[in-house]
Chains A and B, each alone.
Chain A
Amino acid sequence: MHSLRFSAEEIIETIDMVKVERLDIRTITIGISLLDCVSDGVGPLCERIYDKVTRVAANLTRTSRAIGAEFGIPIVNNRISVTPISLIAGRATPDDFVAIARTLDRAADELGIDFIGGFSAQVEKGMTTGAANLIAAIPQALAATKRVCSSVNIGTTKAGLNMDAVAMMGRTVKETAALTAEQGSIGCAKLVVFCNAVQDNPFMAGAFHGTGEPDCVVNVGISGPGVVLRALEQADHADFGALATLIKRMAFKITRAGELVGRTASERLGIPFGIVDLSLAPTPAKGDSVARILEAMGLERVGTHGTTAALALLNDAVKKGGAMASSHVGGLSGAFIPVSEDEGMIEAAENGDISLDKLEAMTSVCSVGLDMIVIPGDTPAETISAIIADEAAIGMINRKTTAVRVIPAVGRQAGDLVEFGGLLGHARVIPVNTRSSAKFVARGGRIPAPLQALNN
């Protein structure tokens, strides 16, 4: 007689995680190198890009659907990340770059996936002509496409911050907002400005396929704030040590599920397995919220005093539990706090309980940055640049990835509601400090790389 090998409690726990607590695999992302697509002209280049992307990922959605059904865990998104486009089109004009973006969009459409990332450039120390032209093309590219995501890395701990690029990105965000004004400036939801960008991130909008990666790779992003929330709700009187242990146990389990899905996808697609990104990624659905986890620790509302400490505990425990569950952890790995995509954050923003300043503080202890925050449409480009500079400084000094994805929604004032739909959610406009940063941003040059010793 075979034994069941699992207790009824274990089996029901797994089923409840999916059915009640909304555990899902957030994304299977195939990273694809486009370095072998480099061509003499933009026409052949676009052909090669389209052919390679649609060939490598031809079976992605079908495979992912089958795996989800067999394991009983929904796989919510299938995505592609590609080599930063600035690297494969060094001589392209801004118009050429827009044509490449349209090609990526067409490939994503053909594959039936929602996002393709990698319309990107890395300019932390300086800017090639190709990178400058790509950045110039971003507003038009994001307005002309639905599925293309863009990111620009403007700083690293080793190189410092490229403040010329920071100034440029403030203007780029504004132009992107203007060109997509009629859809709530949604173009900005597909644009991330990074410090210390990672090469293997499976999450959008910041995913790209780094140059140190293999030709193709399967990366997986997990989710599961609901699982952690439910566990904490049942531990009302636990002290912090016990809370951390509980989170680690849950993170371990959901990461193992991600690892299994990633390895299975890798084997069936014939593409090597890269990493599991140990992230708690919220959605606008009720209970699928990182903010609610922080509140379950005893805070009346996310954003109040204690929020940063609660988030620090959560983020660290997720990593500790997840790190043991996976052979290769990578990507951004941590708790995400995208305001418009998290039901608890949306409510806090609605009531004015969370400020941009508190969100900035929170990003110093979690992944990843100021994310999906709607700011007034009349915010000057220089102020957006200064927001980027502050956030990048946190990343640079603390040797971590930080990012800015803010949406200056055209025509909207603080308190107005902006709706993006789907996973991107909705949010009230959060006010920014209206004192000018223009003179600071206009200085230009680079903020030098920081010392890596004397850490205080």
Chain B
Amino acid sequence: MPTSISSGRAIVTIIGLDRVGIIAAVTGALAEANVNILDISQSVLREEVFTMIMMVDLAKARVPYEELSTRLKDIGRDLKVQVEVQREDIFKAMHRI
């Protein structure tokens, strides 16, 4: 059972039409918050829809979770893409037995 509250890891998902500067803006915000990027994968799941998924480590983050989430969502709004940041546990709970 997913009993541990948090591994300190989160998944950042960016979904939208591809355009210049998306990765730079998001990774910049993560670096500023001292959030380490553990892995990045990029794919085109549906036609022309750009999807980038990052696993990040929040253990040494310098800002609270909600603040980080707000910053990333603001960037998403500016660039007209959807940015989600969710603790890894939710994916483990739903997709792993």
Contact (A260, B86) CB under 8 Å given A1-B39, A6-B95: no
Is the beta-carbon distance between B2 and A11 smaller than 8 angstroms? no
- The answer to whether A4 and B39 touch across the interface, beta carbons within 8 angstroms, is yes
**Across the interface, do A12 and B51 meet the contact criterion of CB distance under 8 Å?**
yes
Chain B residue with Cβ nearest A23: B94
Proximity bits, A253-268, B CB within 8 Å = 1, else 0: 1101101100110011
Least distance between B79 CB and chain A CB atoms (Å): 17
Check if B13 sits within 8 Å of A66, measured CB to CB.
no
Verify A72–B86 contact, CB threshold 8 A.
Answer: yes
Task: Enumerate B40-97 residues with CB–CB distance to A below 8 Å.
Answer: 41, 43, 45, 51, 53, 55, 65-66, 69, 82, 84-95
B45 touches A9 (CB 8 A): yes
Residues in chain A near residue B95, CB distance under 8 A:
6, 10, 13-14, 253
Contact with B91, one of A1, A10, A264 (Cβ below 8 angstroms): A10
Residues of chain A lying within 8 A (CB to CB) of residue B26: none
Instruction: Give min CB distance, A181 to chain B, whole Å.
Output: 44
- Minimum C-beta distance from B68 to chain A (A): 10
List, in ascending order, chain B residues with CB within 8 A of A3's CB. 39
Contact A260 B2 (CB under 8 A): yes
Could you give 15 example pairs across A and B, Cβ below 8 Å?
A: A4-B41, A8-B51, A10-B94, A12-B13, A12-B45, A15-B13, A66-B65, A70-B86, A71-B87, A72-B85, A256-B94, A257-B90, A259-B2, A263-B5, A264-B89
Given contacts A70-B87, A71-B87, 20 further A-B contacts (CB under 8 A): A3-B39, A4-B41, A5-B92, A6-B91, A8-B41, A8-B43, A8-B45, A10-B94, A11-B11, A12-B15, A12-B51, A66-B65, A70-B6, A70-B69, A253-B95, A254-B94, A259-B1, A259-B2, A260-B93, A327-B1
Q: Do A260 and B41 touch across chains, with their CB atoms under 8 A apart?
A: no
Q: Is A108 an interface residue (CB 8 A)?
A: no
B38 and A2 within 8 A (CB): yes
Judge whether A69 and B90 touch: CB under 8 Å.
no
Q: Are B84 and A73 in contact (CB under 8 A)?
A: no
Cβ contact within 8 Å between A11 and B13: yes
- Centre residue among B45, B86, B94 by max chain A CB count within 10 A: B94
Whether the Cβ atoms of A2 and B91 lie closer than 8 Å is no
Are A257 and B93 also in contact (CB < 8 A) when A4-B39, A4-B41, A11-B53 are? Answer: yes
List the interface of chain A (C-beta within 8 A of B): 1-6, 8-15, 19, 66, 69-73, 253-254, 256-257, 259-260, 263-264, 267-268, 327
Given the complex of chains A and B, what is the CA–CA distance between A89 and B31 in angstroms?
59
Tell me, rounded to whole Å, the shortest Cβ–Cβ distance linking A12 to chain B. Answer: 6
Alpha-carbon distance between A264 and B5 when the two chains are bound, in angstroms: 6
In the bound complex, CA of A221 to CA of B60 (Å)? 34
Which 3 interchain pairs have the tightest Cβ spacing?
A: A72-B86, A2-B38, A260-B93
Q: Which residues of chain A come closer than 8 Å to B38, judged between CB atoms?
A: 2
Q: With a CB–CB cut-off of 8 A, which chain B residues contact A267?
A: 5
What CA separation (Å) do A253 and B97 show in the bound complex? 10
Task: Determine the chain B residues whose CB is within 8 A of the CB of A14 once the complex forms.
Answer: 86, 90-91, 94-95
CB distance from B59 to the nearest CB of A (A): 13
The complex places the Cα of A12 from the Cα of B44 at a distance, in Å, of: 12
Whether B84 and A15, one on each chain, are in contact in the complex, defined by CB atoms closer than 8 angstroms, is yes
The residue that A260 contacts in the complex, of B51, B53, B66, B90, with Cβ under 8 A, is B90
Contact partners of B55 in chain A: CB under 8 A: 2, 4-5
Contacts of B45 in A (CB 8 A): 8-9, 12
Rounded to whole Å, the gap between the CB of A208 and the closest CB of chain B is: 27
Least CB separation from A70: chain B residue: B87
Interface centre among B1, B51, B84, B91 (most CB of A within 10 A): B91
Bound CA–CA A63/B87 (angstroms): 15
A15 to B94, CA, bound (A): 11
CB-CB < 8 A to B15: which residues of A?
Answer: 12, 15
A9 to B13, CA, bound (A): 12
Cβ-neighbour of B3 out of A9, A71, A263 (below 8 A) = A263
A352 to B86, CA, bound (A): 44
Chain A residues, Cβ within 8 Å of B87: 70-71
A13 to B53 alpha-carbon distance, docked (Å)? 13
**In contact, B65 and A69 (Cβ under 8 angstroms):** yes
Shortest CB distance B85–A (Å): 8
Q: A10 to nearest B CB, angstroms? A: 5
Q: Tell me the complex Cα distance, A107–B41, Å.
A: 48
Q: Which residue of A lies closest to B55 (CB)?
A: A4
